[in-house]
Amino acid sequence: MADKPTELPEDRTGKRPRDLPPANADQPKSNLPGARSLKPHWTERLATFDRRWVFLAMAIAIVVPFFAPLNLPVKASPRVRALYYSVESLHEGDVVFLSMDFDPASTPELAPFFRAVALHLKRKGVKMVLASTWYAAPPLVERYIREMVDRPLIGPDDTDYKGPPDRAYKQNVDYVWLGFREGKEAVIAAMGNDLRATFDHRAADGTPLADIPMMEGIHQLKDFDLIITISAGFPGTKEYVQQVQSRYDLPIVAACTAVSTTDLTPYYDAGQLLGLVGGMGAVAEYESLIGKPGLGTQGADVLNFGHLVVILAIVFGNFIYFAGRRQRRKRGQ
Amino acid sequence: MLGMAVGLFAAAEFYIPAHEVRIIQEHLLQWGLILAAAAFVLGGVNILQVNYPKIRRREEDWGFKLVLLGGAAVMGLVGIRWHTIGEDPTNGTIAVVEHATESGALIRLDSTRADTLAKIDGKRPIDLGAPGHVTEVSVAPGHHTVKVYMNVAGYGDLAEEVDVPAGGVAAVHGDLALHWGPSGRVYTWIYDYIFAPCNATMFALLAFFIASAAFRAFRARNTESALLLGAAILVMLGAVPIGRAISDFFPQLSDWIVAVPNNAGRRAIIMGAALGAIATSLRVILGLERSHLGSD
């Protein structure tokens, strides 16, 4: 039987029993003449400090702005302005298709956009057809419809809002909820070919699409005046561009999570996306354009502090890294 | 042979603008959707095949597997529209009583459930209060639309048109049926109070791990990583209002980084991936690659 490596006994709390000598008892004391200091250098201590302090800093950065907002001015970027003007150019009675491809994880970034674009569409009297290719989306979308489409978004308390008012939309009159279909890119390709067949010729509530007046003349994705994809990943905006945009020359604008923005900018620059809102900061910009600050604007403050914490963590980490490297070179290690 | 024919047709269809070809393509896509839906059933069977033996043998983490199977079974059961089996459930009754009030007309509303709302002629919702509580609304004699519904998802609603004569009372009794299935109350409750918080929590933890990783791992060890680090800081500053508050330079530079170097790299990756996908698809269509059929 092989010898076990000699291990120091530990009690149940992971501490050494008191009657045992310290682990470095046989080593020279650091205060003896000629002995090398055993105390770790400050860079080593900082490099291995408890990461829960970083978590605490991030938690503070997220919570504090909700109580003490900076309310820094936001200025819309060209990508966000392009999306705004794409929606603004629609007329009363036009029909847009909204692809709701997200789940609860991406709600903080994408729900504020849906709220803002729903207000923008409703105040212009534009009709909506909503569908999803994400299995986790339907209960969320149905809640958004109840809260933001079935009811007016502008109430009597919104005294700071100067834009036109919106109204409550009626199901199968002003909007249609088609529901979810499994099949990912195949669903997107099928909608481009025949939207009605893809959803079995029925809305999510079972109403035949042929009986819904606003669906008259709408058979494929190309029959919509604008397509708005609100996507958190796969399948989403990228698949719409690849499967149907180029093929049918569709006018598509997109809202995505911040992390997807760099994925989608090539499509925006190529003109395949007419506008792009990427992340909560961009939603704040869109809210400033429609004149109704909301959750995006509130969230932008959190982003300010959150991003600062990450930047400070990078700078601090590198400062310690270079100071430590200098110290190691001095020691000749 | 079948795979080759379908694959070649799917590729050729892009270049043939004939209506008949579109019809065939439509059928193929519908078959694809049916297969995708059928894959869910296979997935369910596979989960059972993989996890049940491990639970029976009490292998490591068998408890988690039990939770997985239990969760799948519960969601499968509550996802069935039980309320549509048998007789259609009713959502209440409306009865009109003539000569029941001295002047005008009344609509008398009550419900067997809390959190019930009512709308008369599409006007502002009226809260019907506790179960059994009666709310009376004076209306002009004539034709009215009444809708009784729940403030939460997953119940039926009572939407009727009613003629209330002068001196008459329309008694609207809401007994809204609990719905099952994907839009039903139990499914929605599990989604809202279990799935959504867990899903959001997992994603929210990223903020903390990114901050920790930024401190521990994001080091300028060489020129490439220094460039990456500098670009990350500039893009982050440009993406939030505080960057613009410091200087207009940050958003401009951030936009440039995203629009020029990022796009150049992305396009190269997209085109490379597309060429790779074409090559792989051709191998599959021509039968050179058959690993998806179970062969080497």
Q: Which of A72, A142, A182 sits opposite B241 (nearest CB)?
A: A72
Section B160-177 average pLDDT? 92
Contact at CB, B218 and A105, closer than 8 angstroms: no
In chain B, which residues have their Cβ closer than 8 Å to the Cβ of A281? 239-241
Q: Does residue A247 have a pLDDT over 80?
A: yes
Residues of B in contact with A103 (CB under 8 A): 199
pTM for this predicted structure? 0.85
Nearest CA in chain B to A310: B211
- B-chain residues within 8 Å CB-CB of A314? 214-215, 218, 229, 232-233
How many percent of chain A have pLDDT more than 90?
64
Q: Do A304 and B241 touch (CB under 8 A)?
A: yes
- Look at A107 and B200 and tell me if their CB atoms are within 8 Å: yes
Q: So what's the pLDDT on residue A14? A: 44
The predicted pLDDT at position A9 comes to 45
Question: Is there a contact between A105 and B203 if contact means CB atoms under 8 Å apart?
Answer: yes
**Contact across the interface for B215 and A316, Cβ inside 8 Å:** yes
Residue of A nearest to B265 (CA): A266
Region A212-233 average pLDDT: 96
Chain B positions in Cβ-Cβ contact with residue A313 (cut-off 8 Å): 211-212, 214-215, 218
Among A53, A47, A330, A327, CA closest to B219: A47
Calculate how close chain A gets to B119, using CA atoms only, in Å.
Answer: 13
Question: Which residues on A lie below 8 Å from B155 (Cβ)?
Answer: none
What tens digit of pLDDT does each residue of A134-157 get?
Answer: 999 999 999 999 999 998 999 888
* Structure confidence at residue B152 as a pLDDT band (50, 70, 90): confident
Can you tell me the ipTM of this complex? 0.83
The mean per-residue pLDDT over the stretch B221-233 comes to 92
Check whether B197 has a pLDDT greater than 80: yes
If you average pLDDT over residues B241-265, what whole number do you get? 91
Answer whether B242 touches A (CB < 8 Å): yes
Which segment of A7-16, A93-102, B29-38, B115-124 scores lowest on mean pLDDT? A7-16
**Rounded mean pLDDT, A193-216:** 95
Interface membership of B90 toward A (CB under 8 Å)? no
- CB-based contact, B66 to chain A, within 8 Å: no
CA distance A163 to A158: 11
Residue A222 CA to residue A225 CA, distance in Å, equals: 8
What is the rounded average pLDDT of the residues B192-206?
92
Q: Do B241 and A73 touch (CB under 8 A)?
A: yes
Average pLDDT (B69-89) is 91
Look at residue A33 and tell me whether its pLDDT is greater than 60. Answer: no
The model's pLDDT over A154-190, given as tens digits with 9 standing for 90+, comes to 988 888 888 899 999 999 999 999 999 989 999 999 9
CB A141 within 8 A of CB A177: yes
pLDDT at B108 > cutoff 90: yes
How many residues in total does chain A contain?
A: 333
Q: What is the mean pLDDT of residues A73-97?
A: 95
